[in-house]
Amino acid sequence: MLRPTPFAPAREPPQELGAERVSPETAEVLGSPACPAGLTSLVLSILTGRAYGVALQALSAAAAAGRLRCLRQLLLSFGDDDDEMLTVEDVRALRGVELPALESLVVERISAGADEDPAPHLAAMRLPRLRRLKVDVCSSEAAAALAAAPWMAGVEELAVSGDADVAASGHWLKALAAVPLPSLRVLLLHVFSPTDQARPAGVASQLDLVRVLADAPWLPRLTGLRLKFPYACAGKVSAGKASAQKTWAALAAAPLHSLRRLAVSDMLDFHSTRDGAAMMRAAVVGVEHMAAAPWLPRLHALELPRDEKDALATAARRFPTLVQLQARGALRFGMAPTW
């Protein structure tokens, strides 16, 4: 059964529908007159079997009937079971859907094994008031379609995740970095690393990704940035250490002129453990590079890796700017519970 569920504080008494596991029968409620006309928040999580298609088609029907004109928050969470994948027909139901009041959209746990990436179909929706978007992308083509959506110009907070594979057209992050995104102020970026210790050809490294970010026209306007793309060592540990140090140097030199909050607590999750001391040294050198960054004194919050806390704290004490951050309570080791 669909039931009330908390989502986020609303400006007025909300009407909310949510379900932890949606069957085709309960999904059909969306497309029926039983769907509240004043619905402000909708959560569809871990859909079962053909409920994918039914739910998205019902969502489209409810929007067309004008029953979702007040909807401000929408969460669609898809499963990873091979027997419960999205189909081409499912995701196409999103094309042209108009949600005129929607401000927050979360589309998570999209599997790379799905028949089709939903991102281009999300891009074809009409979302004139969208301000917050969380989405997985499976290809550079999907990211390019999403970046070109007219409503992306109004997005202020973007949480995007995808793998590290580089296609012939380039890594998907390049598609996002190539557009202005004039309203973007907060970016949460998660790139999944390959499982192999040696970085295979065609996979973006930390250094590759930081360099792409540094060229993005919207980077100087960001006030919040969280980076999570663990590094996979390539070849000798010494080479991995050198690349990690270059990554931190590139981040310190990036034009983060407006930045007030930076989280890099997940940037030192090395897949290679052949020489922990060498990787620890890379982390310390990274902090040393960051201490010289011109944007560092303006930060209100800096999150560094928890696992290297002792070594990083010792290194931080050598730099007045980091000491000042710590004195103001702005320096944290590990990820904050909320962001």
Instruction: Tell me: do 227 and 180 sit in the same domain.
Output: no
Name which of 2-6, 101-105, 145-149 the model is least confident about: 2-6
Instruction: Tell me: do 315 and 170 sit in the same domain.
Output: no
Whether the pLDDT of residue 152 is over 90: the answer is yes
**DSSP class of 3:** B
Nearest to 128 by CA among 71, 87, 185: 71
Q: Quick one: pLDDT at residue 234?
A: 45
Q: Quick one: pLDDT at residue 7?
A: 36
Of 116 and 269, the structure prediction assigns the larger pLDDT to 116
CATH number at residue 107: 3.80.10
pLDDT tens for 105-139 read 998 765 555 556 778 888 999 999 999 999 988 67
Instruction: Tell me: do 253 and 108 sit in the same domain.
Output: no
> Where a domain ends, among 157, 184, 211?
184
For residues 163-186, give the mean pLDDT: 86
Q: Provide the number of structural domains found in the chain.
A: 2
| C-alpha distance across the termini of the chain, in Å | 31
Instruction: Tell me: do 255 and 153 sit in the same domain.
Output: no
> Where a domain ends, among 184, 199, 214?
184
Rounded Cα–Cα distance for residues 51 and 100 (Å) = 25
Q: Which helix (H) or strand (E) holds 326?
A: helix 320-327
Domain limits at 31? 19-184
Name which of 82-86, 135-139, 159-163, 247-251 the model is least confident about: 82-86
Instruction: Tell me: do 245 and 319 sit in the same domain.
Output: yes
Question: Does residue 110 lie within any of the structural domains?
Answer: yes
Question: Does residue 197 lie within any of the structural domains?
Answer: no
Return the CA Rg of the chain: 22
Instruction: Tell me: do 162 and 258 sit in the same domain.
Output: no
Instruction: Tell me: do 180 and 231 sit in the same domain.
Output: no
Question: Does residue 5 lie within any of the structural domains?
Answer: no
Name which of 13-22, 214-223, 280-289, 303-312 the model is least confident about: 13-22
For residues 313-319, give the mean pLDDT: 92
Count of beta carbons in the 10 Å neighbourhood of residue 6: 10
Q: Quick one: pLDDT at residue 229?
A: 80
pLDDT tens for 10-53 read 444 446 666 555 566 666 777 677 777 788 998 877 666 667 77
For residues 170-182, give the mean pLDDT: 91
Percent of the chain with pLDDT over 90: 37
Question: Does residue 199 lie within any of the structural domains?
Answer: no
Question: Does residue 276 lie within any of the structural domains?
Answer: yes
Instruction: Tell me: do 34 and 123 sit in the same domain.
Output: yes
Instruction: Tell me: do 69 and 176 sit in the same domain.
Output: yes
Instruction: Tell me: do 125 and 255 sit in the same domain.
Output: no
> Where a domain ends, among 133, 165, 184?
184
Please, are residues 29 and 3 in contact by the beta-carbon 8 Å criterion?
Answer: no
Question: Does residue 49 lie within any of the structural domains?
Answer: yes
Confidence class for position 198, pLDDT limits 50, 70, 90: very low
Q: What is the average pLDDT score of the chain?
A: 80
Question: Does residue 198 lie within any of the structural domains?
Answer: no
Question: Does residue 212 lie within any of the structural domains?
Answer: no
